[in-house]
Structure 1
Amino acid sequence: MAPPAGPVRAPQAGDAAGPRIRAARREAGLTQQDLAAAAGVSRQTVIAMETGDYAPSVYLALKTAQVLGVTVEALWGGQT
């Protein structure tokens, strides 16, 4: 059985990672394109993470946090 087509939706419970990513990106003074280039992904991937439409791999979560100068837990830890 094939997995469903479409984006991988992040969990709804405590789904505040997107706004935290956006806030951390802005605080770091980065555009979506800047973050995408530094993390090695497309700008559309950054947009999808910020809107909660994409749950990144562990590698991308670590890279994103590193680029933003925060911990993974600060972005995806579930704190609101």
Structure 2
Amino acid sequence: MSKGRVRNAIRALRLAEGMTQQELAAAVGATRQTVIAIEAGKYAPSLELAFRIARTFNQPFEAVFQFDPSG
């Protein structure tokens, strides 16, 4: 039985803004390594960090993060 997976649109949003991983990390108070792991789907951020990321892109939470139950 699969537990599901959190998917995100961070990389696409970041590139559309012309923002580097380091710039995003600084904007949300995380490390570049954390941003890399989140983008790659290897790490699900805390809710607080996830909301900070969505706010940085001026997007609703659901536009940045999606839960895939079949994941």
How would you bin the TM-score normalised by the shorter chain? 0.7 to 0.9
* 1:62 correspondence with 2:51: yes
Which stretches in structure 2 are left out of the alignment for 5+ residues? none
Shift of 1:46: 0.3
Greater relative contact order, per chain length (Cα 8 Å cut-off, separation 6+): 2
* Alpha-carbon distance in structure 1 between the residues aligned to 2:38 and 2:54: 12
- Structure 1: gaps of 5 or more residues: 1-10
Q: TM-score, normalised by structure 2?
A: 0.81
Which one of the candidate residues 20, 27, 44 is aligned to 2:16?
A: 27
After TM superposition, give the deviation of residue 77 of structure 1 in Å: 2.7
Among 25, 28, 40, which residue is 1:36 paired with?
25
Larger radius of gyration: 1
Query: RMSD of the TM alignment (CA)?
Result: 1.6
For these two proteins, the number of residue pairs brought into alignment is: 65
Task: Tell me the percent identity.
Answer: 46
